[in-house]
Chains A and B, each alone.
Chain A
Amino acid sequence: MASEKLLLRNVGRENSHTLDVYTANGGYQALKKALSGMTPEAVLEEVKASGLRGRGGAGFPTGMKWSFLPKMGDKPRYLCVNADESEPGTFKDRLLIERDPHLVLEGIILSSFAIHCHTAFFYIRGEFQKGARIFEQAIAEAYAKGLLGKNILGSGYDLDVLVYRGAGAYICGEETALLESLEGKRGLPRIKPPFPAIVGLYGCPTIINNVETLANVPFIVERGAAWYGGIGRPKNTGPKLFCISGHVKRPGVYEAPLGIPFKELLNEHAGGMLHPDRPLKAAVPGGSSMKVLPAARCDVLLDFDSLAAAGTMLGSAGGMVMDSGTCMVGALLNLAEFYEHESCGQCTPCREGTGWFTKILHRLEAGQGRREDPDLLIDVAKRVEGNTICPFGEAIAWPVQSYVAEFKSEFDDHVTKGACPFGAARKG
């Protein structure tokens, strides 16, 4: 851990969630800098130049996303913070919200300033009750200190931040479902185009950014794009929070520059495999909805482009590690059940396909598989992929395709043995 901790610099401190601790450790300096001497356009340019890419999953350049906003018109612009962190194996935003809410808030204020937004919504996963309370406290502190509300720090810039709690649906992390939910409707993804930057919340131009993405902005503003661009790898700049869970000694959230080798994260940060006699079998470096990598292909760098080249994605960096005792059919069934439960039911391929996966996998795991089932799984997954309204379809179609393709013999074994070779460690 040679590099300086940025995103997690405060989380270990006592009362790290308070404004006092945050400011005592250099907090809100970026905001002062921006509001006293920078134009919104200059902030936007700085973020663009930093190469910051969205930390929510797709890795889209944040500055470019902001620049898709149409010219200022009669309609207000909104910033929606996506704090609906729900991806299995991903728990990085939660840490920031609970332990360093003011870092997130400073990022929100700076970003709102950059895009001429005067009302920002903080859409937080309903289960994050503690996080929501802490964040509301942080907002109250900020209002009291003139960091929010009218005329922030005497700059003439106004901003209100509202916390909205979700009602417990994974799909509301999809940005247009989030908007629907925020508008008080059932959380169903919208058809795109139009994209939210043009027609977003209440029909107004809207930017939706992930919590961690926004937490990077204060550093970019304070220390400059050039400095920020020096962290990580080309086109994959900046610090990143990596979640790691599964069969490791120390599951948790670790900060490292983008591009850290997976094995380094596993062995040095997470303390290596949990059981010394059970070696690595497979890993999903990006999160549950990404493609799985077998152990032999796990020597990868953890950044957007390296993982894309390896045939998977960085996603939300919710790494999951599976050891040799893992039944891949059972692991996939576990995932499939999650996605079946969370499919919103709006469009045909996802609504029908997710349940079909689960049913086939249940049979396989119970030893009632047919010879054609592994191929059927892949075929059905291909018919879901690319045919849905939102990326939820891929979020299950990719795992299904990769688990079956990478561990085909294990799926076949379930059929030929008529039972789970792992003793059905997991019974449906």
Chain B
Amino acid sequence: MPEPTPPAPPAPLKPGPTPTAVAPPIELPAAGPDEVALLVDERPVVVKKGTTVLQAAERLGIAVPHYCYHPGLTVAGNCRMCFVEIEKMPKLQIGCATQATQGMVVRTANPRVKSARESIMEFLLINHPLDCPICDQAGECRLQQYANAYGRGRSRFVEEKIHHDKGVPIGPRVVFDGERCIKCTRCIRFCDEVSKTHELGLFERGGHAIIGTFPGKSLDNAYSGNTVDICPVGALTWRPFRFQARVWFLRNVPSVCTGCARGCNVELAVYDHRIHRITPRRNAAVNGYWMCDLGRQTYERLDDRPRLERPVATGSVVPAPEAVDRAAALLRETATRHGAASVAAMVSARLTLEDLFMARQALKQAGISRVVVPPHESGEDDALLLRRDKTPNARGAELVGFGRPDAVATARLAGDIAAGHVRGLVIVGEDPVGDGLFKADVLSELDALVVIDAWQTETAKAAHVALPATGPYEADGVVVNFQGHAQRLRRGVPAPALAEPSWRWLRELGRRFGLAGSWNTASAVFDQAAAELKPLASLSWRGLGGDGHPIVDTEP
């Protein structure tokens, strides 16, 4: 094999483009000390030193096709799809690994570059099974995407393709197809660099090279789903999503994961009124490009227990106004009979800021001052995303004045109920019986138990009045993550017909006690909260946009 030639000493590059006979020279803009100015497809751009040619092109909106490059991973440079032509360099260069330098002249779309990309496409497809009709990646596959621009349309390869195992359970949640794989090694790099779990490697050589797990290992880390997201082809598929829906039928709703206090930005993939998968949406301030496997499965909570579908008062389905009337009456009677201190409330840090804010307004109006927020913790904070606090909005509960989730206060409330000091209780979004915090027979002693929840929980079953709420991903709202980053949840799927966001039930309940105000949307409630709560003062519903915004003056 010929040895590579070591570099010649770099020739000093003259700033500015080389003038050609026809085109007038394009003036390069001035670059600062840490910057370089270059031309990409005749367009000037100034970028920070160390920026790659591919990134510089992206800055101009010029997409350089690529498979192996991923902004969240180290550069591998193996797919060779991102070839660009750079003046004064005899060979085409890969845009992902070539740093932009002062005066560089880059062409990303001339015939030579196009021809090289066509070569790469042909090479990638000769051993690819072309099983798009049954491939879950179809519709969001980079091979398909680039085949439009760079595909030959007809194969010159007439031989038997190389065969590999298909449908391999490479991990409990991920399935691997060795024939679709293009060996870009994104998945390997993810497990080495991001999850740092090192399960995957490249085995064998040449055309027989194949991704696999090291002996005794399985792709079973808390973040394994990300390998599926970043797989540019259909080689890695997410088991719960396999063969569930064609991606072109999916409506992707930008939202926020409700699985823990991180609040990873996600897309809810909705088809036929169901969420079929949840994938991460980039947010540099919160989750980067990633999310955990648990978060991907949070939508399954919606259906894992029977829903509370209708308002129920003392065992009978009743119209909503009647149910709220009944709830208010019971609470009022209890307070009258046993004193205001005999009525308490439990609200959930899983509720949105709007729910919690309205809970505060309504409970205050009803004279209920004792409010506890039970904690939901498991595991530990890890080095990447996962938080021990499994609620998405503990900071929001603190913001509206309920304090942080508090196990001691929750236990004390349980004790006071058992001792008969607390005779009336409003529970919003919590199932203390199901969670083992309260005994069911303790609740049955209460004079007034009003439950607002999405599910027919053990607690709801014990309630005098149970009001059906929307579940996660069924309503708009704001949550504040553990960093104090306020973000908007967007409704992905419809709730059962009679379910309402908890804040609406609370508004109605509050009105029975004279609460004024006519908030009809979550945004109106949020903006009211922003007007009243100092840390939210600079925020508005619209201003949160897709990426959210940090709240002010709230050190964790």
Contacts and interface: CB of A to CB of B under 8 A. Distances in A.
Interface of A: 54, 56-58, 60, 64-65, 68, 87, 169-170, 173-176, 186, 191-193, 195, 197, 210, 289-290, 313, 315, 340-356, 359-360, 363, 370, 376, 383, 386-392, 394-395
B2 A394 contact: yes
B77 interface: yes
Contacts, number: 139
Interface string B99-124: 00000000000000000100110111
Contact of A392 (B1, B120, B127, B209): B1
A383 B91 contact: no
Contacts of B94: 191
Given A57-B3, A186-B202, A387 B116 contact: yes
A344 B126 contact: no
Contacts of A387: 80, 83, 92, 116, 119-120
B6 interface: yes
B80 A348 contact: yes
B52 to A, nearest CB: 12
18 contacts: A57-B2, A58-B4, A65-B6, A68-B7, A195-B6, A289-B2, A340-B206, A341-B206, A345-B204, A346-B202, A347-B78, A348-B124, A352-B124, A352-B127, A355-B207, A383-B116, A383-B122, A389-B80
A223 to B, nearest CB: 26
B247 interface: no
Contacts of B127: 352, 355
A387 B312 CA distance: 70
A372 to B, nearest CB: 8
Instruction: List the 4 shortest-distance A-B pairs measured between CB atoms, nearest first.
Output: A345-B209, A383-B119, A58-B3, A343-B206
Contact of B207 (A87, A176, A340, A392): A340
Interface in B1-38: 1-7
Contacts of A353: 123
A386 B91 CA distance: 6
Given A346-B209, A356-B126, 19 more contacts: A87-B1, A173-B1, A176-B4, A210-B3, A289-B1, A289-B2, A290-B2, A340-B206, A342-B206, A343-B205, A343-B206, A345-B202, A345-B208, A347-B79, A348-B124, A349-B120, A351-B123, A355-B127, A387-B80
Residue with the greatest number of chain B CB neighbours at <10 A, chosen from A60, A170, A387: A387
Nearest to B123: A352
Contacts of B555: none
Contacts of B535: none
B162 interface: yes
Interface string B119-147: 11011101100000000000000000000
Contact of B206 (A56, A193, A345): A345
Given A197-B6, A345-B202, A345-B208, A174 B77 contact: no
A390 to B, nearest CB: 7
B209 A58 contact: no
Nearest to B182: A348
B207 A349 contact: no
Contacts of B159: 356, 359-360, 363
Contacts of B186: none
Contacts of A340: 206-207
A193 B126 CA distance: 30
Nearest to A187: B205
A191 B4 contact: no
Interface in B422-437: none
B117 to A, nearest CB: 10
A309 B12 CA distance: 29
A56 B6 CA distance: 13
Contacts of B122: 383
Contacts of A341: 205-206
Interface band, chain B: 35 or more
Given A315-B2, A345-B207, A387-B116, A355 B202 contact: no
B201 interface: yes
Contacts of A350: 206
B97 interface: yes
A291 to B, nearest CB: 11
B156 interface: yes
Contact of B2 (A349, A359, A391): A391
B4 A348 contact: no
Interface string B143-187: 000000000000011111010000000000000000000110000
Contacts of A376: 156
Contact of A391 (B3, B81, B206): B3
A174 B4 CA distance: 8
A80 to B, nearest CB: 13
A340 B159 CA distance: 15
B1 A193 contact: no
Contacts of A64: 6
B206 A175 contact: no
B3 A56 contact: yes
A360 B124 CA distance: 17
A191 B3 contact: no
A387 B123 CA distance: 12
B75 interface: yes
B120 A344 contact: no
Contacts of A342: 205-206
Contacts of A360: 159
B1 A348 contact: no
Contacts of B183: 345-346, 348, 351
B373 to A, nearest CB: 50
B126 A352 contact: yes
A92 to B, nearest CB: 15
A23 B81 CA distance: 56
B6 A348 contact: no
B118 to A, nearest CB: 8
A319 to B, nearest CB: 15
A349 B1 contact: no
A349 B91 contact: no
B7 A193 contact: yes
B206 A355 contact: yes
A58 B127 CA distance: 33
Contacts of A344: 205-206, 209
Nearest to A313: B2
Contacts of B157: 356
* B3, B122, B207: residue with the most chain A Cβ atoms closer than 10 Å: B3
Given A342-B206, A349-B123, A352-B124, A54 B3 contact: yes
A169 B209 CA distance: 14
A354 B6 CA distance: 25
Interface string B59-85: 000000000000000010111110100
Contact of A175 (B3, B79, B119): B3
A346 B183 CA distance: 7
A305 to B, nearest CB: 14
A352 B207 contact: yes
Nearest to B98: A193
Interface in B293-337: none
A354 B123 CA distance: 10
Interface in B181-234: 182-183, 201-202, 204-209
Contacts of B79: 347-348
A341 B78 CA distance: 18
B39 to A, nearest CB: 21
Interface string B410-452: 0000000000000000000000000000000000000000000
Given A54-B3, A60-B6, A348 B123 contact: yes
A391 B80 contact: no
